[in-house]
Structure 1
Amino acid sequence: MSTRAPAGPERPGRGFTAELRDAVTPRSMALVTGVLALQLGFILSYIGAFHSPTPHRIPVAVVAPAQVAGPLVTRLNGLDGDPVKARTAGSEQQARRAILDRDVDAAIVVDPRGSTDTLLVASAAGPALSSTAQLIAERLEGAEKRQVRVVDIRPPGAKDGRGLSSFYLVIGWIVGGYLAAAILGVAGGARPANPHRTVIRLGALALYAVVSGLGGALIAGPILGALPGHLLRLWAIGALVVFATSAATVAFQVLLGMVGIGLAILLFVVLGNPSAGGAYPTPLLPAFWRAIGEWLPTGAATRAVRNVVYFSGHDIARALGVLAAYAVVGTAVAFGASLALHRRERAPGGGPPGREPA
């Protein structure tokens, strides 16, 4: 014999309009509208950055006798659209060193005694950029009835397909950073209840950054062999990337509540990924993406990882500075804003500032 609890009184029937008003609140509509804006922004940003890659002032060194070098540099710098920013180098060895030091992206070595010149490239910095430099050189040399021989002095590793592993590693770190901060915000309130909670949250994210930085470095290096031989340095960069992203996300949440998560996605994914120089290096991107890429964590981290792995750590100081700035400023803003909100709430007549409970 089964027993059933007596059914409670049923709610009186309500019209569809009343149910619709309850189900579709202004808050939910605002959130969906925000998601739509991010979705369309994602499409616009990626297609806008990648639909028509065009070279812009690719740094190129020219090695040639004095009577040839000057006119050739002038011709290169005078090409329509400014695809090249040329300068002279004293020797092929100097040109090679300039490429590996990341002062230039390619070099043209003119053979004054023959009809075949050499184009030096380093495709580990981005195969698309090397291919573009080759096309420019061939177009230029074709007018002179000369041939171009391409020499890749620093190709990607055997297991680093098209040199994109650095970019994908960074994307993983970036996504982990803002998702960890967002999940803690959803679980405990986007705005922590007091400054102590903010410190605890940032401390938890710092620990997460250390662990996830190591995990990414292990996968890219010893496990898959895509970026081998740089475990400790990649670990350090990864921890900095993840904490910089998560600290900035916490700061956005303390300032803006749940809207801060959307702002983090806008900066780190919608704008950050296409401008990072991963699929297409910076000189091939339109002006807007060229301008913002190196100032966002994704672009700064991609440069740092790629140059550590393939170019002995040259030209990474600014990239590390950008990441450190996001970490330090994000931490300071998150704590400072949390302290200000807490003091305002405790002030006589202050009342709660409309934050989510933690």
Structure 2
Amino acid sequence: MPTSPNRRTLAVVVLVPVLAALALWAFAWPAARVAPRDLPVGVAGPAAATAQLQERFARAGEGSFDVHRYPDETAARAAIEDRDVYGAVVASPGGPKVLTATAASPVVAQLLQHALPSAPVTDVVAAPPGDPRGTALAASLLPLALAGVAAGALVTLTGLRGARAVTALLGAALLVGVVGAAIGGSWLGVITGGWGTTAGVLALTTLAVGGTVAGLAALLGRAGIGLGALVIVLLGNPFSGVAGAPELLPAPAGAIGQLLPPGAAGSLLRSVAFFDGAAAAGPLTVLVTWAVLGLTAVLAGARHTRATAPTATRHRPAAPAPAG
């Protein structure tokens, strides 16, 4: 039975503030609580010297830094390039020096520089000249998420089902990947990895989001579009940690963000663009899992619709015979 205009008015009056409060919490809470939490960093050099450096990190507070020890600067550099740590402090005869990786996180690099303001700094893996602060890379995630939500919503609203829906989602994701790589890589120079690899990551991200939204809609109806958008945009984007690092967000936001497509996409993009694929397996697995589950739900929803359609027809009351 349709609801009355008064009830619909009340629903709008109540629902909009609730959504606003949820959005403010999701976006403002992590930003207001940025601080290192088990942030992986390294110290390198003789044991006595590294113990002093480790004590300096410990003074920042219990649980702030996850300190890894390395025998020398070469080992510390290798750990940064493998994405085991965000940076390191090396004990040398002339005093400590700081190794950073602005490509991994300009925010963390700045944090390490502020911790030892008089120490010389070497940027082991530098951010691209077109995006030295990483802001353009971070800003690229929201358009990808919105493109994926739009693809899933359009597939649902246009009535595409089953294999045709999957084909539409795959085609849209592929074109988004090509366009994104052309803009972010070829034009802006924000992403410096291989063009094909970049396009593949962007396409997979769009497919993971679009498949999730369309899959939820196939199982739950049009309400699934709203649920998918809520999870991806209002949680996945602010919890992604791509503007700084997941370890800078309050628990459990950073961990949750890495299990959602936007956070996994940000980590995977950094790995393939700047670190020759180091530490790419985890975020790649997350994106593939979301994409496979979403597309499976799309196909399952279509099969369920076909299976129930004959039943509904069979139980439909017969039309009355024409008079006369």
With normalisation by structure 2, the TM-score equals: 0.88
Structure 2: gaps (5+ residues) = 317-324
Matched, 1:178 2:119: no
Structure 2 distance, partners of 1:120, 1:165, is 23
Q: Which residue does the alignment assign to 1:281? A: 245
Whether 1:45 and 2:26 are equivalent positions in the alignment is yes
What is the match of residue 166 of structure 1? 137
Decide whether the 8 Å contact of 1:127 with 1:162 is kept in 2: yes
Over residues 132-167 of structure 1, what are the superposed CA-to-partner deviations in whole Å (9 max), with x where a residue is unaligned? 2233445xxxxxxxx422222222111114123333
Q: Does 1:100 align with 2:81?
A: yes
Structure 1 residue 117 and structure 2 residue 117: aligned?
A: no
Change (3 A) 1:37 1:343: farther
Determine the structure 2 residue equivalent to 1:340.
304
Following superposition, the deviation at residue 83 of structure 1 comes to 1.4
| CA positional deviation for 1:42 | 1.3
Match among 244, 253, 262 for residue 226 of structure 2: 262
| Residues in 2 aligned to 1:118 and 1:22: alpha-carbon distance in whole angstroms | 70
Query: Could you tell me how far 1:86 is from its partner in structure 2?
Result: 0.8
For 1:1-358, list aligned pairs within 5 A.
Answer: 23-24=5-6, 26=8, 30=11, 33-70=14-51, 72-73=53-54, 76-77=57-58, 79-111=60-92, 113-114=93-94, 116-137=95-116, 147-188=118-159, 197-347=161-311
Conservation of the 8 A alpha-carbon contact between 1:344 and 1:350:
no
- 1:187 Cα shift? 3.5
- TM-superposed CA distance for 1:247, in Å, is 0.7
Q: How many residues were matched structurally?
A: 314
Q: 8 Å contact 2:156–2:218 — kept in the other structure?
A: no
Q: For 1:310 and 1:35, locate their aligned partners in 2 and report how far apart those are by CA, in whole Å.
A: 41
Structure 1 residue identity aligned to 2:186: P
CA offset digits 1:154-196 (Å, max 9, x no partner): 22111114123333333222210111211232343xxx6xxxx
Deviates more, 1:255-264 or 1:241-250: 255-264
Q: Could you tell me how far apart the structure 2 residues matched to 1:30 and 1:341 are? A: 30
Superimposed CA distance per residue, residues 100-142 of structure 1 (whole angstroms, 9 cap, x where no aligned partner): 110111111012x33x31011101112111122233445xxxx
Go from structure 1 to structure 2 and tell me whether the alpha carbon gap of 1:216 and 1:32 turns closer, same or farther (over 3 Å shift).
Answer: farther
Tell me the secondary structure at the aligned position of residue 347 of structure 1: helix
Q: 1:187 to 1:80 in 2, by over 3 A?
A: same
AA of the residue aligned to 1:59: P
Identical aligned residues as a percent: 29
Q: Secondary structure at the match of 2:42?
A: strand
Quick check: 178-187 or 327-336, which moved more?
Answer: 178-187
Q: 1 CA distance for matches of 2:258 and 2:27?
A: 17
Query: Considering only CA atoms, is the larger Rg found in Structure 1 or Structure 2?
Result: 1
Q: CA RMSD, aligned part only?
A: 2.4
Q: Give per-residue Cα distances to partners, 1:325-349, cap 9 Å, x unaligned.
A: 0111111122213322432343378
